[in-house]
Chains A and B, each alone.
Chain A
């Protein structure tokens, strides 16, 4: 079990600002919080060292990079073989994410391909794995809405 981090108002303000725009100037956060830039940098270093902050990154639109088709795949397998199938999936081109889940299906995967034909070929290839019983794909349409800032950073206020 990982140790949970308790964040104070300054930590929360830093994370909130960076969640919305990772390039936010430290001086701007410092001004809003009424603390020095050094404090912001020190806090952020601490959050990075203890592993709360992994890194900053940009969010890309996969479709603008030629990955036109995005889908989530629900995969049913022989119960004893889910780990084997997940390992197989993770090594495949086009699979962005694959995990073991509890619920309707034992495996959930997210895939991105250039064309519908490629997605279909990927689905058929997964289907042809001897331990896979069934694969159902749902294609993502319209805009994909991202809300990384929806994380609750104030656990004491969060409904638990």
Chain B
């Protein structure tokens, strides 16, 4: 016996009332409870939806949704972490390694042409510019899918920009020797690579939410 739209809305309201806030996880639990409800209605159709629904609520009373959210969040974080790892490795694989070398050469030229302070400011400005571009690109998606764990778990803070600022403050006196040039280029590439990881993670999360939305409708 298939459930009507209103009956599904009632089950969804129960799930929300129990404190499960993430919409993407709600969908999975909604299907589980709806299956149980259909089974109960098939076993005893004369009892009707309301009575069976009350019984089902007490069946699921013990279910701790915060544990469920934690396991889902951990699963997503693990997936994103693996995605970032693949992205980092791609910087050292052919043909992308050519771009890495080109970017490294570019930052070396900047370091060589100016003093360390100017080079540090340049690196910070480049990092901030890319950060702003990425944040603005995914601003709408982060707002639209803020109720999903898929999107919420895709945000992470990385520290290269702070490291660069520390560089500027503490190494204004350094000269253009090879050791500092190598450190500078490494930091610059690391920053860009992390920004790339951030972009890939956000893109994946947005795509996943959009795919789910295409199947189910608005994720609200």
Q: Do A and B bind each other?
A: no
| Residues of chain A at the chain B interface (Cβ within 8 Å) | none
Interface residues, chain B, CB within 8 Å of chain A? none
